[in-house]
A and B are shown apart, each in its own frame.
Chain A
Amino acid sequence: SQELEQSPQSLIVQEGKNLTINCTSSKTLYGLYWYKQKYGEGLIFLMMLQKGGEEKSHEKITAKLDEKKQQSSLHITASQPSHAGIYLCGADGQGAQKLVFGQGTRLTINP
């Protein structure tokens, strides 16, 4: 079965700094999904990546899927307090409908 590992598990950065979160899969990724979760709440969909080498941006958040489609990274530029939360990567295998998730990365932004 597919497993996703995220690194780091937690991250504390100064406001205004850049940061990167990684998601590594045990198998080839067919669809990679990034979500953000505030503590005790549901998941907010950020971006979906499907093609090797694909890169998408939304405001100050950029996500990439590497060429071999086994790793994705999420990069935040000039972090703000509103970026704080738990970032989760999810993936579906070929023909699969369910998403498998990583354990999450807890991001704290210090003012």
Chain B
Amino acid sequence: DTGVSQNPRHKITKRGQNVTFRCDPISEHNRLYWYRQTLGQGPEFLTYFQNEAQLEKSRLLSDRFSAERPKGSFSTLEIQRTEQGDSAMYLCASSPRGVLGTSGRGNEQFFGPGTRLTVL
């Protein structure tokens, strides 16, 4: 399977602990996105990378959140000092937009299965 993968799929933690999630995008995609989704809502944008550069961050991404994509391949999202309000599904997506040779000008993003975080 060459789709987007995320690990772990589920994470239960106690308030105040740090957690880290990993995303492996589709290999030829140079753009990687993080979104957060709460129950009954659509995903909300958190941040995105083009290769290793983090180009945009949402105001939702407080100082406790940090994302990296050190070699332009996989990415990690870390949440420090977790709070109950951080409980959500964290989704990663990748896109081929901007890669030379890709057809079309669209921004179709391909999502992973998500990491469900529960903060007790």
Which A residues contact B (CB, under 8 angstroms)? Answer: 4, 31, 33, 35, 40-45, 48, 50, 88, 90, 92, 97-104
Bound state CA distance, A97 and B107, in angstroms?
A: 7
**With A98-B48, A104-B41 as contacts: A41 and B114 at CB distance below 8 Å:** yes
- Cβ–Cβ contact A103 & B48, under 8 A: no
Which B residues contact A (CB, under 8 angstroms)? Answer: 4, 6, 31, 33, 40-45, 48, 55-56, 58, 89, 91, 93, 97, 105-114, 116
CB pairs A–B below 8 angstroms (22 shown) = A33-B107, A33-B109, A40-B89, A43-B111, A45-B109, A45-B111, A48-B108, A50-B106, A90-B43, A97-B31, A97-B33, A97-B48, A97-B56, A98-B45, A98-B58, A99-B45, A99-B109, A101-B43, A101-B44, A102-B42, A104-B40, A104-B42
By DSSP majority rule, is chain A's interface helix, strand, loop, or mixed? strand
- Cβ–Cβ contact B116 & A101, under 8 A: no
Bound state CA distance, A100 and B56, in angstroms?
A: 14
A-B pairs with CB below 8 Å: how many?
A: 68
- Cβ–Cβ contact B107 & A45, under 8 A: no
Bound state CA distance, A14 and B16, in angstroms?
A: 47
Write out the residue numbers on chain A whose beta carbons fall within 8 Å of the beta carbon of B111.
Answer: 35, 42-45
B44 to A: closest C-beta gap in Å? 8
**With A40-B116, A98-B33, A100-B45 as contacts: A45 and B106 at CB distance below 8 Å:** no
